Structure 1
């Protein structure tokens, strides 16, 4: 007895070659997995922003220049080395936005737009870019043989400090104190030994964290 095409539909089989897309059965991107990665990244950005705030709240060592010695730069470098350039930048940018909004998360428990008038403004505004630089350089260091990773991570942190943070800090000192470049550099030199020590510690902390949580730098960014 003749049958209609509709009668055959339940018994139709797929004869497509493996890997060939079938109309109506197209594979969709794994949205839940992407969402989980995004939520994880948001959580990490917020966590490291809070970490830098905690570093800033450790009692500072006052100096005659009006720019105290703090652990902020340590937190900035760790955020960049651990999270990578993009997420490190976002974490420190979030920290900066929260502080400028008035929350006292900067050194000496200060916050608000008033900090932009202080001699430390150059250092402060450079922090997100310094984290990004540390993250990018750190990604290169982590691709090296294990024996070279610690010294290269130290170099990555120092590179971000001396290529980004200190030059911006010198410019801020010149603008806010009305001093010459040579005078501002003489002030800035005071912070160099401490920065070396903080970068030595930051590299060690980074290796310890990534050893415990290797997926944190899965994309080396």
Structure 2
């Protein structure tokens, strides 16, 4: 067995577990309940960070691990929610979208320039907006239409309440990526080879 491959696998596994744990920690921050059943939480920032810092594959794996823990009943979502019931709530489209949005964000980040900390931050902002906001919100809207039986237009209008806060999260993600790129210049943003 090649020791460097073994070490790389262990590092990947630990990063996936670390970002799943980061999502759980973000769940400790109280949620803001909105009247239509979808709360405002900090956890979408974790989705953006996982994609930008881990890349598509490991970002998706980290969010899938987190969602598996939630489905198993661990109260890891904001407000101490967990169990299979959360996947039947109006917010289920957003929850299921966490893994896919991390993958899309990571795939975009891997294709955008990241040679300097500033470029990495700008790329992280763009990847977060497209993957962690636009793509995630599209899945959330689909969930509202399917599970809350909202008309598409109403679901879209309801979703707009999250956009300003999620744009702030995109900026925060870019700042974190800038800091990581400055402190760890060899970090492979977006899981680059």
Do both proteins adopt the same fold according to a TM-score greater than 0.5, normalized to the shorter chain?
yes
Equivalent position of 2:104 in the other structure = 133
- How far did 1:81 drift? 0.4
Does residue 152 (structure 1) correspond to residue 123 (structure 2)? The answer is yes
- Please say if 1:169 is aligned against 2:145: no
Shift of 1:107: 2.1
Task: Give the deviation of 1:149 after TM superposition.
Answer: 3.1
Residue 27 of structure 2 aligns to a residue in which SS?
helix
Pair member with larger Rg? 1
- Could you tell me how far 1:147 is from its partner in structure 2? 4.3
1:116-156 CA-to-partner distances (Å, cap 9, x unmatched) read: 11110000001111001111111223445654332222111
- Is the alpha carbon distance of 1:43 and 1:146 closer, same or farther for their aligned partners in structure 2, counting shifts above 3 Å? closer
Separation in 2, partners of 1:113, 1:215: 40
- Identify which of structures 1 and 2 has the higher relative contact order when contacts are C-alpha pairs closer than 8 Å and 6+ apart: 2
The unaligned stretches of length 5 or more in structure 1 are 1-29
Alignment of 1:6-155 (within 5 A): 31-143=2-114, 147-155=118-126
Aligned length: 192
CA contact (8 A) 2:93 2:142 kept: yes
Which residue of the partner structure matches residue 189 of structure 1?
A: 160
User: Per-residue displacement from partner, 1:70-102 (whole Å, max 9, x unpaired)?
Assistant: 011001100110111111111111001111011
TM-score scaled to structure 1, two decimals?
A: 0.81
TM-score, normalised via structure 2 length:
0.93
Dislocated runs of 4+, deviation >6 Å:
none
The runs of 5 or more residues in structure 2 that have no matched partner are none
Q: Residue 44 of structure 1: CA displacement?
A: 0.6
Shift of 1:207: 2.0
The answer to whether the Cα contact below 8 Å between 1:85 and 1:133 also exists between their aligned partners in 2 is yes
Q: Secondary structure at the match of 1:61?
A: coil
How far apart are the structure 2 equivalents of 1:162 and 1:79? 14
Equivalent-residue separation in structure 1 for 2:113 and 2:57 (angstroms): 16
Query: Which residue does the alignment assign to 1:6?
Result: none
Q: Does the CA-based 8 Å contact 1:123-1:168 persist in structure 2?
A: yes
Give me the whole-angstrom Cα distance separating, in 2, the residues matched to 1:210 and 1:153. Answer: 11
